[in-house]
Amino acid sequence: MKFIHAADIHLGSPFLGLKNASEDVKDLMHHSINHAFEKMITDAVAQNVDFVLIVGDLFDEPNPSFNVIETAIDGFEKLKRANIPVLLSFGNHDYLNEEIPSSIFPDNVQVFDDQVSVKTIRTVQNENVKVAGFSYKTRAEPQSRIDEYPVNGNDADYYIGTLHGSMDGLNSPEARYAPFTKDQLISKHYDYWALGHIHKRVHLNDNPLIQYSGNTQGRHINERGVKGYYLVESNQKQLLSIFKPTSSAVWREIEVNCDPDDTFDSLKEKIQSKLSENHQTFDLVKVRLNQSNLLDQDVVNTLMGDVFLNRLQRELEHNDSWIFKISLNTDEAMQELPKLDEDFWNTAKSDIFNKSNILDLMGRLQEYDFLVDNFDSEDTVNELKSQSELQLIKNSAFKDEHHAN
């Protein structure tokens, strides 16, 4: 038996971080999600898999455009011609609704409804495979659904569970999405658990294999790294998986340490040197400048604007990288604030800068999942802290200079 475990393809998704990007970069990213999906389809045919599992969020929204739906249908038609069935569940982004009727897909696609059910697949080797799963009925699924999954009754050669949700404790802000525990999954005695919803590969258990495949193409810096799917194959009843990449562009972050005598030219050389390390794909890069509070204040002031970023973007326009952001980070051990300001800052920053406050400030913008995905991260919190601290240092220096005059 051989099958593909994929999830969170997000056809039709927008991208963040492409401000001032060249038309070539925008075009590459605009098509990257489709290319990832199409590569998975091509691989499925080439590998002659028995079936494909898509565990939630094939689409980025519940009412995708006609062109987006056509992309999915075209891919499924290719699988149909190769006699490859698809087992599809909808997640919190593309939950069951009349805008995506199951009848629009070719008949090799089996769609799970909102109740946990079991579907049967017969492989080329005449193996009987049972797959359990369900689709979301609304955007949120706060209740655990794991008790609805049947225990493996040993009435099939393989029993597979599919679940679009979040493991308890793995990512607490995601708890409103069909939460479960690892022990609950293990108690079902399945041979494999194909998980979706978390946009990074997470291996939870060896026997049985329990894992998130992550998404197939990163959409912003919080989805950094190579993305793809799992190719799962049986070997004397044991299931083994291999990660297969599909992303045509990779979001990554590089770190550069600043020195007190650094200039724009020396910083540029350090950044270019870092970019050349391990460079194998087209990369969308966030540059983190560490110890930036050591730099001359005039350099910091300019870095806090867009002048240096725009200069780098122009000079590296024809390279296989696009620098979309420069982040200034302070060294916690090297503060330059007056003692009173520093004490106040250290007391206040943990109360002010946290993910809960950021999400509260977003208000109704939280309805847009792609924005929540971008801001709901420790990276965002730490970056806001550093930017604020640099501004405090700048204001303190300005006051000192004012008093001196």
d(CA 120, CA 116): 14
pLDDT tens track for 142-197:
889 999 999 999 999 999 999 999 987 554 445 578 999 999 999 999 999 999 99
Apex 188 CA angle, 184 and 194, nearest 5: 80
Tokens of 38: 């199409």
- For residues 148, 107, 239 and 177, what is the CA-based torsion angle, rounded to 10 degrees? -40
Task: Examine residue 208 and say whether the peptide bond preceding it is cis (omega within 30 degrees of 0).
Answer: yes
pLDDT digits (tens, 9 = 90+) for 88-136: 999 999 999 888 888 999 999 999 999 999 999 999 999 999 999 999 9
CA distance 384 to 378: 10
Torsion on CA atoms 324, 35, 108, 211, rounded to nearest 10: -50
pTM: 0.83
Question: Any idea of the CA torsion for 372, 92, 82, 211, to the nearest 10 degrees?
Answer: 80
Beta pairing, strands 202-205 & 209-212: antiparallel
Q: Could you tell me if residue 236 is left (phi over 0), alpha (psi between -120 and 50 degrees) or otherwise beta?
A: left
CA distance 203 to 207: 11
pLDDT digits (tens, 9 = 90+) for 187-223: 999 999 999 999 999 999 999 999 999 999 999 888 9
